[in-house]
Amino acid sequence: MTTIMGPKNLLIAIVLGGALAAGVFVATKLNRPAELQSGFVVPLPNALPDFSLLDQTGGQVNANTFRGQWDLVFFGFTNCPDICPTTLQVLANAKRELIDSGATTLPRIVLVSVDPERDTPELLGQYVEYFGEGNLGVTGTLEGIKTLTAALGIYFEKSPTQSGDYGVDHSAAVLVINPDGEFSALFSAPHLVASYVHDLPIIMGDD
Amino acid sequence: MVWNKFPVLAVLCVCILISACGGEPKPPLVATDIVIIEAMPGKKMTSAYLSLTNHTDAAISITGVSSPEFESVEIHESLLEDGVAKMRRIPELSIPANTTVLLERGGKHLMLMRPTGTPTQVTLSFQNGDTTLLSVRAPVTPRNN
């Protein structure tokens, strides 16, 4: 017996077909490897301001220091026992995984102190080098730090403790500085190794 | 009566009840998964993480922690508020009845300050006022994963 599709059934078939095509399209888009997991690319990269600080050897650090390589910049302090070392360990582990996966473009890990009063270049050097070779520690005058953080929208403020000591509240984001010395992407907390390993090659154009 | 018809079943049930009630009683407060992180080079503080389980039917309050290997131990909490990382001291940690509280990275944790030496093993004592609730000893582990 032959069945001829009526206009109503034809309409249903067209709608279902369209829905299927839309579903396949959305699924394809969601599976695209170029989608970032947690990184966010800044639409218009910002050049770093004119600032002058010190690295862990006492050498000058300015905007030019951030040209020529990709940098992952975290703002923290060495008297921070939980968030700061945990974040730096995540960045170090992500970098190690990128090396193991054969990535050719690798970021430098940078810690900018938000406690320059206590974080001398020597202390900062011991701290950042604990997480691997080639890491950069940045400290200096409070004014110099503020020039950099204000331009990048980084917040920090001392928080007194009961014992008369103090901690420092600070933005938890990790900023990505591109080889032109521009703030071009960021990762918000919480920081996960897998997200960096997935997103960094895309951001750095090495996927 | 059912027990008269099934004497083996009755004996089995009694055995199960005895075994459930027997054995060592559980301590009221138990610490597991203890991780004491080695101090960073040049730093006089570090952190420790663990799970605390209250096996009683009443809340247990921890008002102090001490260690012979550190001059001071405090319970702290790392907070993430509007993208800002903060750390605050918790003066009193309550473990609700029959509940486990996690002290973990990025959350509640112990801050160990001013080591008296270079410890490889650390004893932690949890107190409520002058009463010691629990003492545990665990090795120091490297911070590499």
Gyration radius of chain A over CA positions: 24
Q: What is the pLDDT of residue A24?
A: 47
Is B47–A82 a contact, with Cβ atoms under 8 angstroms apart?
yes
Q: What is the pLDDT of residue B67?
A: 97
Of A81, A126, A172, the CB nearest to B45: A81
pLDDT digits (tens, 9 = 90+) for B62-95: 999 999 999 999 999 999 999 999 999 999 999 9
Q: What is the pLDDT of residue B89?
A: 94
Structure tokens at A139: 């400290």
CB B108, CB B50: distance < 8 Å: no
CB B68, CB B116: distance < 8 Å: yes
How far B114 CA lies from chain A's nearest CA (Å)? 12
Cis, peptide link before residue B27, omega less than 30° from 0: no
Is A172–B83 a contact, with Cβ atoms under 8 angstroms apart?
yes
Does the structure show a pLDDT above 90 at A41? Answer: yes
**Of A70, A74, A40, which is closest to residue A148 (Cα–Cα)?**
A74
Is B41–A130 a contact, with Cβ atoms under 8 angstroms apart?
yes
Between CA A148 and CA A152, with CA A151 as vertex, the angle to 5 degrees is 85
Which percentage of chain A shows pLDDT scores above 90?
A: 80
Judge if ipTM > 0.90.
no
pLDDT digits (tens, 9 = 90+) for A121-130: 999 999 999 9
CB B90, CB B107: distance < 8 Å: no
- Chain centroid to Cα A36, Å, comes to 12
Is B106–A190 a contact, with Cβ atoms under 8 angstroms apart?
yes
Which residues in chain A have their CB less than 8 angstroms from residue B88's CB?
159
Is A82–B87 a contact, with Cβ atoms under 8 angstroms apart?
yes
pLDDT digits (tens, 9 = 90+) for A107-162: 999 999 999 999 999 999 999 999 999 999 999 999 999 999 999 999 999 999 87
Q: What is the pLDDT of residue A162?
A: 77
Q: What is the pLDDT of residue B17?
A: 47
Nearest chain A residue to B82 by CA: give it: A171
Does the structure show a pLDDT above 50 at B126? Answer: yes
Interface test with B, best of A40, A74, A82, A165 (most B CBs within 10 A): A82
How far A25 CA lies from chain B's nearest CA (Å)? 34
Confidence tier at A75 by pLDDT (50, 70, 90): very high
Q: What is the pLDDT of residue A34?
A: 72
Does the structure show a pLDDT above 60 at B1? Answer: no
Of A78, A169, A173, the CB nearest to B86: A169
At A69 the three-state DSSP class reads coil
Confidence tier at B8 by pLDDT (50, 70, 90): low
Bigger pLDDT: B12 or A201?
A: A201
Question: Measured between CB atoms, does B85 come within 8 Å of chain A?
Answer: yes
CB B134, CB B31: distance < 8 Å: yes
Q: What is the pLDDT of residue B26?
A: 82
Does the structure show a pLDDT above 70 at B122? Answer: yes
Query: Three-state SS across B18-66?
Result: HHHHCCCCCCCEEEEEEEEECCCCCCCEEEEEEEEEECCCCCEEECEEE
Bigger pLDDT: A11 or A190?
A: A190
Is B85–A170 a contact, with Cβ atoms under 8 angstroms apart?
yes
Is A170–B76 a contact, with Cβ atoms under 8 angstroms apart?
no
Nearest chain B residue to A187 by CA: give it: B83
Q: What is the pLDDT of residue B41?
A: 85
